[in-house]
């Protein structure tokens, strides 16, 4: 109504002015048509100008007024849209404010299932990564925050079972390595492997007993060598007894070595006498190469004995005879 009244007011105003202009124009015509020598054209000119001015400016005034009203209408529509948007934003802010005012307890209830499922997945992932401390901490959170005591107990059992399985496999592998070292008589390597394993699983009873187990196997192997040594002595297998004694020497304590001194002396004395006898027999039978081999063995194994000195004096002559015998043997074959 207000927008239409603005245009109506312009029309009314110009209609009144048009009436006035027509009146002036009419008076001008009347004066101009009066008889006489002098005619008054002033009123006619003024009326004409007024009519032209009214008729030319009236449409312009109506157009400007309509444009202004259109601009005002768009401005009003824009303001109305902005008011509606602000009202919607106000409602949204109220909703957000109400959500922010929710208590932590209400939020935990609203997201309880999702949080619990996420916690379960995290626990299983930590178990798969063998992160036992992380998994245990999450299980504690499950029991404390959600109150799932039975489920927490099941997860703890699963964690302990997974730990035990890993420990059992690692201990089994390490024990296999220790067994190989023991069979190779690498006792130091076996003990180092046992100490490494004890550093990881000191509370495991099998691991804690490994040093005693290794020492028991070492003592058992030592006893087997002692039995084999004594058996070789009984069979008068001096060479076999000496070979066993070379290995056994690494296992004997100082006290054990002292108790075996007489037995060892007799063994080497018999060995030396055997070599002396074999050497003399080889010389007597002119087996120069065999005599040289036996002589070298006597000088190498018993360098401080009187027999070694006697053999040394004869070695040059034996080598000459061995060389001459080989030459004669070559000539005979040719």
Q: Is there a contact between 201 and 167 (Cβ–Cβ < 8 Å)?
A: yes
Residues above pLDDT 70, as percent of the chain: 87
Contacts of 129 (CB under 8 A, 6+ apart): none
Residue 176 is classified by DSSP as H
Q: Which residue has the higher pLDDT, 34 or 309?
A: 309
How distant, in Å, are the alpha carbons of 212, 251, 312, 313 from that of 215? 5, 11, 46, 49
Sheet strands (E) in the chain: none
Each residue of 109-138: pLDDT tens digit? Answer: 556 677 778 878 888 888 888 787 888 888
Position with higher pLDDT, 259 vs 31 = 259
Please give the average per-residue pLDDT across 165-184, as a whole number.
Answer: 87
Boundaries of every domain in the chain: 2-91, 124-150+161-186, 275-334
- pLDDT band for 332, please (50, 70, 90 cuts): very low
> If you average pLDDT over every residue of the chain, what do you get?
78
pLDDT on residue 102: 52
- Between 144 and 106, name the one with better pLDDT: 144
32 or 46: which carries more pLDDT confidence?
46
> Mind giving me the DSSP string for 189-203?
HHHHHHHHHHHH-TT
Over the stretch 283-298, which tens digit does the pLDDT of each residue have?
A: 888 888 888 887 887 7
Instruction: Compute how many other C-beta atoms are within 10 angstroms of the C-beta atom of residue 72.
Output: 13
Summarised one tens digit per residue, pLDDT across range 77-102 is 888 888 888 888 877 777 676 666 55
Cα–Cα distance for residue pair 161/120, rounded to 1 Å? 17
> In angstroms, how far is the first alpha carbon of the chain from the final one?
152
For residue 216, the model assigns a pLDDT of: 92
Average pLDDT, integer, range 56-70:
79
What is the residue whose two structure tokens read 């360098």? 303
Half-sphere exposure of 247 (CA within 13 A, CB side): 16
Q: What is the per-residue pLDDT for 8?
A: 78
Give me the pLDDT at residue 134, please. 86
What pTM value is reported for the model?
A: 0.47
Q: Kindly report, residue by residue over 194-231, the tens digit of the pLDDT.
A: 888 888 877 788 888 889 999 999 989 988 988 998 88
pLDDT of 328 over the 70 cut? no
pLDDT above 80: residue 184: yes
């Amino acid at each position: 109504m207000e927008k239409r009244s603005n245009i109506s007011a312009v029309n009314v105003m110009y209609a009144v002015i048009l009436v006035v202009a027509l009146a002036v124009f009419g008076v001008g015509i009347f004066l101009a048509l009066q008889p006489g020598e002098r005619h008054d054209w002033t009123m006619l000119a003024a009326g004409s100008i007024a009519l032209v001015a009214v008729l030319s400016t009236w449409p312009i005034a109506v157009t400007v007024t309509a444009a202004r009203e259109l601009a005002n209408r768009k401005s009003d529509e824009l303001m109305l849209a902005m008011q509606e948007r602000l009202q919607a934003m106000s409602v949204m802010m109220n909703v957000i404010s109400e959500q922010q005012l929710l208590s932590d307890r209400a939020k935990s209830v609203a997201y309880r299932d999702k949080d619990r499922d996420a916690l379960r997945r995290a626990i299983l992932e930590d178990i798969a990564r063998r992160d036992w401390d992380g998994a245990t901490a999450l299980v504690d959170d499950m029991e404390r925050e959600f109150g799932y005591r039975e489920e927490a107990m099941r997860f703890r059992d699963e964690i302990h079972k997974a730990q035990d399985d890993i420990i059992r496999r690692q201990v089994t592998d390490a024990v296999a390595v220790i067994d190989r070292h023991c069979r190779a008589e690498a006792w130091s390597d076996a003990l180092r492997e046992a100490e490494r394993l004890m550093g990881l699983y000191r509370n495991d009873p099998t691991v804690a007993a490994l040093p005693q187990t290794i020492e028991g196997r070492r003592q058992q192997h030592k006893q087997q060598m002692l039995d084999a040594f004594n058996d070789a002595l009984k069979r008068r297998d001096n060479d076999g007894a000496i070979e066993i004694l070379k290995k056994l020497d690494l296992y004997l304590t100082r006290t054990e070595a002292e108790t075996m001194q007489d037995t060892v002396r007799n063994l080497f004395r018999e060995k030396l006498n055997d070599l002396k006898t074999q050497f003399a027999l080889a010389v007597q039978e002119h087996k120069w190469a065999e005599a040289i081999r036996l002589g070298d063995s006597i000088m190498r194994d018993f360098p401080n004995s009187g027999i070694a000195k006697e053999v040394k004096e004869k070695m040059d002559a034996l080598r000459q005879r061995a060389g001459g015998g080989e030459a004669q043997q070559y000539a005979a074959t040719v």
